[in-house]
Amino acid sequence: MASLKKVVLAYSGGLDTSVIAKWLQETYNCEVVTFTADLGQGEEVEPARAKAKAMGIKEIYIEDLREEFVRDYVFPMFRANTIYEGEYLLGTSIARPLIAKRLVEIANETGADAISHGATGKGNDQVRFELGAYALKPGIKVIAPWREWDLNSREKLMTYCEQHNIPVDYAKQKTKSPYSMDANLLHISYEGGILEDPWQEAEEGMWRWSVSPEAAPDTPTYVTLTYKQGDVVAIDGVDMSPATVLEHLNKVGGANGIGRLDIVENRYVGMKSRGCYETPGGTILLKAHRAIESLTLDREVAHLKDAMMPRYAEMIYNGYWWSPERQMLQTAIDESQQVVNGEVRVKLYKGNVSIAGRRSDDSLFDDKIATFEDDAGAYNQQDAEGFIKLNALRMRIAAGKGRKLR
């Protein structure tokens, strides 16, 4: 094994990363620094401190990154109306660049010569963590235990814990969800268990943030979002921080059955994977942001953004947040958002998000021109004849030359 003095581990305090912490100490004979991020996953992160101390770890980082996560990662992504393969709102993907950044920063602060994570060799997260780390610190060493060890089942992990006196809540392990789950302020993901059969419907009891649309209230809920340069800054007239905005929308959206998703997606490593996601707040944000842009963006700017979005979504999904191409696109996207200001009123009802109204001082909607009533000469309808003939010119020429359409 390579000689290492200190490794920074992305540490949740759960079974896998607790085993990894001990495994790193034994395998590499190195000091381990743990880093636990609170991204709004809904579980206490402080217990990770006691677990780390019990394994003799002296440098323990536990950080509340909720505001930074939404402000600097989620909101910039939503300015692009980002969605992967037509459906996925990238809740797991967008959290990884922030974690990678802090792993590298902590490595610099503590003098560590490596970082480590608990992502498996089958998934996307290993790529996301490591691409980010290498972009931010080219010479960093990355240790991915799932690509090195043979502890490839929960039973083997539990046996390892028994052999190495790693404290485990056995009762909790026995009642643990059968799904592999990841949560943050933007979403919860579910994989594994019966979901590995794409024909099986997800169990109702699996969902944690949302009621089923059938069980949602029979009366719609209206919410007004205030936008400033593409970001929501207030809800129903109350100023809110980015994280508070998402927390609020998660609650009101979940209560109305908003944001459930069941998809088969294409992983970057090559395989197809079935996953279920709960993204109530993000589902509302996407719909509302497109509504305010429809009012304020120039047509060609809006269409160009839509054309770039799938490429931008792939960059985030595949782990290229810290790439120059993503930053280039972000600059263009953010420039377009300078005029994306105003209010959007959304209607939430039994799993659906509808737009009930939108208004803006930067609106390009001109009722004097768009009206179906007398426009007092604001628009000369005779101009349309020449416009149509010029746009048809190439097709008229081709038809006149005998070109056949198939």
The pair of structure tokens assigned to 164 is: 């190495």
The pair of structure tokens assigned to 183 is: 């949560």
Binding residues for L-aspartate: 120, 124-125
Binding residues: 10-18, 37, 88, 93, 118, 120, 124-125, 128, 180, 189, 265, 277
Q: Which residues contact 326 (CB under 8 A, 6 or more apart)?
A: 312, 315, 316, 320
* 283 C-beta neighbours (distance < 10 Å), count: 25
* 265 C-beta neighbours (distance < 10 Å), count: 16
Tokens 């280039």 belong to which residue? 328
> How do 60-64 and 31-38 pair as beta strands?
parallel
Query: At 240, which amino acid appears?
Result: M
Query: At 334, which amino acid appears?
Result: D
Binding residues for L-citrulline: 88, 93, 124, 128, 180, 189, 265, 277
The pair of structure tokens assigned to 226 is: 């205030």
Q: How far apart are CA 179 and CA 183, in angstroms?
A: 12
Catalytic residues: 16, 96, 125, 180
**What are residue 266's phi and psi, to 5 degrees?**
-95, 110
* 87 C-beta neighbours (distance < 10 Å), count: 12
Q: How far apart are CA 160 and CA 22, in angstroms?
A: 10
Distances (CA, A) of 32 to 106, 161, 270: 12, 17, 33
Closest by Cα among 180, 181, 184, 182 to 38? 184
CA 378 to chain centre: 45
The pair of structure tokens assigned to 95 is: 């959290």
3-state secondary structure at position 197: coil
Query: At 289, which amino acid appears?
Result: H
Instruction: Answer whether 188's CB lies under 8 Å from 278's CB.
Output: yes
